[in-house]
Chains A and B, each alone.
Chain A
Amino acid sequence: MSFVTVRDLFQTYGSRPIIERVNVDVAEGEFISIVGASGCGKSTFLRLLLAQERPTRGEIRIDGAEPAREPGLDRGIVFQRYSVFPHMTVRDNIVAGESFRAGWGRFFGDAARAARDRADETLARIGLDHVADNYPATLSGGMQQRLAIAQALAAKPRVLLLDEPFGALDPGTRLSMHGFLQDLRAETGMTVFMVTHDLEEAFKLGDRVLVFDKPRWDPHDPSRYGATITYDFDARDGGIPFQTLKENIHVPEPH
């Protein structure tokens, strides 16, 4: 059963096609990695998923709903930078994940206290409880991205979009962030789209890896054609999906 359905998606800026004829079906709970060279429409595709832009042609539906016209609660996003609100403390950033949909953007009285407690629980779980009252600028890059992911999840989106979330982190921090994301995912079973430049990361975290590339190439006018999904890898079991199958066939069952 397809949860996110992308049909015949085209996006053109002026006369320049960016992506063309993208079709893809994603089941609920799948982790999709998106890779490709720079300028191959990965980020455009993510913006279309986010409904920050609307496609020239085609449509994206989540769970059969009407295509969205602007970003909303059903899609969460974590950018590479500027993902948390710099003028709010770490705790308030988490609370904002729930309170921004309220009329004044904040809770009052008992609701405020309850939200605070929930935020403190979240912070304890992601190991940021010791900096709850600090401003994000005092946090390291990895801590800020952990906060950004937790904030996005606090709003309980149906689809989580990650735009090169670990691109600016050093390799060690990146590894621990992978663990953090895998744990969260095991817990929530969320549908995730992640754009990345790191192939290893894409295959490690993703269930599927979509490769964006230009199938047609005019050497005299490189921007003539747009990109589309050229490969759709099954990335489970470290990118060797049939390994278990083969083992089942060739290795005699232990008795």
Chain B
Amino acid sequence: MRLINIKPGPALALFLVLLPFAAVLIAYAVGSDIRLTANPSDKLLPAPGTVGDSMMRLLTEGDRRTGRILFWYDTWASLQRLWLGIAISASVGLVIGLLIGLFPLMRSLLAQFVAVLSMIPPLALLPILFIVFGLGELSKVVLIVVGTLPFIIRDLSQRTVEIPQELLVKAQTLGASSWVIAIRVALPQVMPRLIQAVRLSLGPAWLFLIAAEAIASDLGLGYRIFLVRRYLAMDVILTYVIWITLLAFAMDWLLRRASRRFFPWAEEGL
């Protein structure tokens, strides 16, 4: 039987799904064990148990000076920045994407401009943002917007252009104005795509958030990671990295669910 025709059963499928996760955990445990046997005070690969203990401590015990549980404050600060940045990108991207996709005049005006803007490396702008907007929240949010907006605009304008011409002509024969075509035909058609684009932008958004926090901040997940790096506190860093991964995965999952729930007619392979 050819390899392409061999499909795993449910039990084997589950085993195969879990296998790489287990492999990484085991590899880490073995590596950590080897290093700790050689040098019990090694800080590079703390034992899984140690990481677990630190995790509990970080999640439940307050800071010695202020009594605040910094883990949750960090999470809240980072999520606020991320959410704000993504929300601004998504709404501005949706409007500009529709304008470029639907109106030839706007396409001539903006399409090339956005294409050029999207080539600017956002991190190269970070110093400018810090100078212009200061070191506060604004510059971090703006960095996320600068980093994700061009992609969302280009993706959505492309999707809008791809709406079958027949549908736009049909709407016109029903007497729809440009405005009605925009809100009743184009907007609903690109909404699932907007969710898709936001999902794809989450990765870059986290990247820019952590970069901005690492450079100038006093609270946030990225700030904490880069702070404790000075003490080689691998247990704290690992806890935060696992937490960020979980958060990102949960957001992606929620967006996918939302897309299926609100746009059941858009049967795309998600």
C-alpha gap A79/B164 in the complex (Å):
11
Q: Are A72 and B265 neighbours in the complex by a CB distance under 8 Å? A: no
Instruction: Bin chain B's interface residue count.
Output: 20 to 34
Contact among B167, B174, B175, B266 for A82, CB-based, below 8 A: B167
Chain A: interface size category: 20 to 34
* Nearest Cβ on chain B to A81's Cβ, whole angstroms: 7
**Which of B172, B175, B177, B184 contacts A106, CB < 8 Å?**
B184
Q: Assuming the A-B contacts A87-B265, A96-B184, A104-B183, are A72 and B173 also in contact, with contact meaning beta carbons closer than 8 angstroms in the complex?
A: yes
Out of A77, A81, A105, which one reaches B180, CB within 8 Å?
A105
Known interface pairs A83-B166, A106-B184; A73-B263 also in contact (CB < 8 Å)? no
Contact mask A51-95 → B, CB, 8 Å, 1/0?
010000000000000000011110111010111111110000000
CB pair A71–B173 under 8 Å, yes or no, is yes
| Beta-carbon contact of B265 and A50 below 8 Å | no
Measured between beta carbons, the chain B residues less than 8 angstroms from A88 are 188
Looking at chain B's contact residues, is the secondary structure mostly helix, strand, loop, or mixed? helix
Task: Determine the distance from Cα of A50 to Cα of B266 in the docked complex, in whole angstroms.
Answer: 29
Number of A-B contacts (CB under 8 A): 80
* In contact, B166 and A100 (Cβ under 8 angstroms): no
| Minimum Cβ distance to chain A for residue B178 (Å) | 11
B51 interfacial contact with A, CB 8 Å: no
A77 and B173: CB pair below 8 A?
yes
Q: Check if A87 sits within 8 Å of B266, measured CB to CB.
A: yes
The answer to whether A105 touches B173 (Cβ under 8 A) is: no
Q: Is the beta-carbon distance between A155 and B183 smaller than 8 angstroms?
A: no
Decide yes or no: A76 and B173 within 8 Å by CB, A87-B263, A104-B183, A135-B265 being known contacts. yes
Q: Which of A85, A104, A136, A137 contacts B185 (CB 8 A)?
A: A85
CB 8 Å contact bits of B126-151 with A (1 = contact, 0 = none): 00000000000000000000000000
Can you list 15 contacts pairing A with B, beta carbon distance less than 8 Å?
A72-B173, A73-B175, A77-B170, A79-B170, A81-B164, A88-B188, A100-B175, A100-B180, A103-B180, A135-B264, A135-B265, A136-B265, A137-B267, A152-B174, A157-B173
Task: Give residues in B with beta carbon < 8 Å to A.
Answer: 164, 166-167, 169-177, 179-180, 183-185, 188-189, 263-267
